[in-house]
Chains A and B, each alone.
Chain A
Amino acid sequence: MGTLVEDLIEWGGGVLGEEHMETLMSCVQCGKCTGGCPSGRITALRTRKLFKMAQENMVEEIFNAPELWYCTTCYTCYERCPKGVKCTDIIRTIRNLAAKAGHMSVPHRKIGVYALKTGHGVPIGPDQMKIRESIGLDEMAPTTQKYKEQLEQFQTICKETGFDALIDFDWDKMNLKE
């Protein structure tokens, strides 16, 4: 465990590249991210503030900040940052670390449950099956929710990476643990 910035560079760097993550250190608090943020119009999300908190190693504060989860990942800040800070990807990485530290909401964990059960974040229901048939489609698309052996591949990935443990998934109940 290093500082939050070091952890972000290591974790995010493993997928997105270290240089990508190191841009966090270029933030000069100009606030262009925050000025153009559509979420900031109606929520407490202030991207500039999040990045200041990250730079100052305010780990508990940032992991517990509800606004961390009010970014829709629209990439407006990422596009406009005059210093080339990869804002949205840094926010996603902070969320990864927050989730690992146990800060993941129940609705978010439930999306994970749908995925582990069907391979889809949004699985099909009976009404949609009828709509599909009414317009000449098979009642279910040929995806993981239709083929068990294909779903098992999806589940294998989640077991290999520990996603099941991340959301506290109970394989016997096929639901979240109590």
Chain B
Amino acid sequence: MSEETKEYAYFLGCITPNRYPGIEVATKKVFKEFGIETKEMEGASCCPAPGVFGSFDMYTWLPIAARNLAIAEEMGLEIYVTCNGCYGSLQEADHLLKEHPKLKEKTNEILGKFGREYKGTTEVHHSIVIMHDDIGLDRLKEKVTKPMKDVNVAIHYGCHFLKPSEVRGHGSSETPYILEDIVKAIGAKDVDYKDKLMCCGAGGGVRTADTPTALEWTRQKLVSMIEEGADCVIHPCAFCHLQLDRGQYEMNEAFGTSFDLPVLYVLQLVALAMGFSEKELALDQQTTKMPEKLLK
């Protein structure tokens, strides 16, 4: 990518702006450093969550997703997201609507009720792919002023960033590499651990319907990170952030444990390595606390 400014529509979703706005700020700040400008998507809604609304009624899920896509189309911009749920939902909807003209027609009958139309002129990107592929690791390395030396990072991919791989197109879901590359580029070490590719436990409405089960799931995953000496966990998904961060408070309450493994959206860790402060990234306002090691 050239050095010139590129503009994107930032699809915020729910958890990022409404629970962890530090993810929003980190992404905007990091992207701005690389000449990427963000425009707000006025009137956007829930994506809506693919495993939740997609499980309840896919005929409602699709037009809601299409309306969000249409907003970006009206802006003439491509979309980026900071949540795997949003990525899954919007990219899948866009894929289906581009593949099936009849589905597009039926969807537009609904959107037409309020004067909107899905045309199929935008694309949906994940912010970490923009970081990895468009900005690139070399430019990232140049901006690192505080390398994450001796920091052991447990990478958690979540689910809908990689899968289904036939739609996502980021290679094999069993051997991912994008977050590993970013972690190395900022001088940290990624630690392999038993349950690395395991889901966080929250999706598909499981957290909503049965929080203790979702927490037990997350507990098992966190234990397998801690056993390998992780100093923190990074991820590309706001919903995973909620489960991994807030979930530690909830499981300490429910199970009498004392988990405190720092949770960061990957671009929050990148932002720390680029010299932004804990405070401006709202990392001091979440459940898990940042250790000195990440802030030096």
Please tell me if the beta carbons of A135 and B282 are within 8 angstroms of each other in the complex: yes
Would A131 and B285 be within 8 Å (CB), given that A122-B19, A123-B14 are in contact? yes
Q: Is the CB of B163 closer than 8 A to any CB of chain A?
A: yes
**Stretch of B45-53, B227-235, B253-261 contacting A (4+ beta carbons < 8 Å):** B45-53
Evaluate contact between A141 and B12: CB separation under 8 angstroms: yes
A15-B96 contact given A39-B217, A121-B48, A153-B114, CB 8 Å threshold: yes
Interface mask (B182-226 → A, CB under 8 Å = 1, otherwise 0): 000000000000010111011111101110010011001000000
Please give, as numbers and ranges, the residues of chain A lying within 8 Å of B216 by CB-CB distance: 42
Q: Which residues of B contact A121 (CB under 8 A)?
A: 14, 46, 48-49, 52-53
Question: Which residues of A have CB within 8 Å of B281?
Answer: 135
- Asked whether B45 lies within 8 Å of A42 as measured between CB atoms, the reply is no
B59 interface neighbour in A15, A91, A124, Cβ under 8 Å? A15
**Chain A, residue nearest B201 (CB):** A72
Q: Which residues of A contact B48 (CB under 8 A)?
A: 115, 121
A73 engages B203 (CB within 8 Å):
yes
Within 8 Å by CB of A16, from B56, B96, B205, lies B96
Contact of B58 (CB < 8 Å), options: A79, A92, A150: A92
Shortest distance from the beta carbon of B84 to any chain A beta carbon, whole Å = 10
Note all chain B residues with C-beta closer than 8 A to A119: 45-46
- CB closest residue in chain A, given B195: A38
- Known A-B contacts A72-B159, A161-B60; the reply to A92 vs B282 at CB < 8 A is no
When the two chains form their complex, are residues A73 and B103 in contact, meaning their CB atoms are under 8 A apart? no
Verify if B145 is at the interface (C-beta below 8 Å from A). no
Q: Interface digits, A27-49 against B, CB 8 Å rule (1 contact, 0 not)?
A: 00000000000110111000000
Determine whether the beta carbon of B159 is less than 8 Å from that of A143: no
Residues of A within 8 A of B19 (CB): 122, 128
CB neighbours (8 Å) of B110 from chain A are 156-157, 160-161
Chain B's interface size range is 35 or more
> Bound complex: CA of A67 vs CA of B274, how far in Å?
45
CB distance from B41 to the nearest CB of A (A): 8
* Contacts A75-B163, A79-B163, A135-B280 given; does A107 touch B58 at CB 8 Å: no
Shortest CB distance A36–B (Å): 10
Decide if B142 is an interface residue (CB 8 Å cutoff).
Answer: no
**Given the complex, which residues of A lie within 8 Å of B17, measured CB to CB?**
124, 132, 137, 140-141, 143
Q: Is B100 an interface residue (CB 8 A)?
A: yes
A120: contacting residue among B14, B24, B195, CB under 8 A:
B14
Selected from B41, B59, B159, the residue in CB contact (under 8 A) with A75 is B159
From B21, B62, B201, A137 is in contact (CB under 8 Å) with B21
A144 within 8 A of B: yes
- The minimal Cβ–Cβ distance linking A145 to chain B, given in whole angstroms, is 8
Chain B stretch 252-291: residues in CB contact (< 8 A) with chain A: 279-282, 285
Contacts A38-B198, A161-B110 given; does A104 touch B206 at CB 8 Å = no
The reply on B136 being an interface residue by CB < 8 A is no
**Contact mask B109-120 → A, CB, 8 Å, 1/0?**
011011010000
Does B40 belong to the interface (CB within 8 Å)? yes
CA distance A131 to B25 in the complex (A): 11
Interface residues of B (CB under 8 A from A): 12, 14-15, 17-19, 21-22, 24-25, 40-46, 48-60, 62-64, 67, 96, 99-100, 103, 110-111, 113-114, 116, 159-160, 163-165, 173-174, 195, 197-199, 201-206, 208-210, 213, 216-217, 220, 279-282, 285
- Besides A42-B220, A156-B113, 20 other A-B contacts (C-beta < 8 A): A16-B58, A38-B217, A69-B206, A70-B206, A72-B203, A75-B173, A76-B163, A79-B163, A92-B58, A99-B55, A100-B57, A108-B56, A115-B48, A115-B53, A121-B52, A122-B14, A124-B17, A141-B24, A142-B43, A163-B57
Can you list 30 residue pairs at the A/B interface with Cβ under 8 Å?
Answer: A17-B99, A38-B201, A41-B220, A73-B51, A73-B159, A74-B163, A76-B163, A79-B163, A79-B173, A92-B51, A92-B54, A96-B57, A107-B209, A108-B56, A110-B208, A111-B205, A112-B56, A115-B46, A115-B48, A122-B14, A131-B282, A132-B21, A134-B285, A140-B17, A144-B44, A153-B114, A154-B67, A157-B67, A166-B56, A167-B56
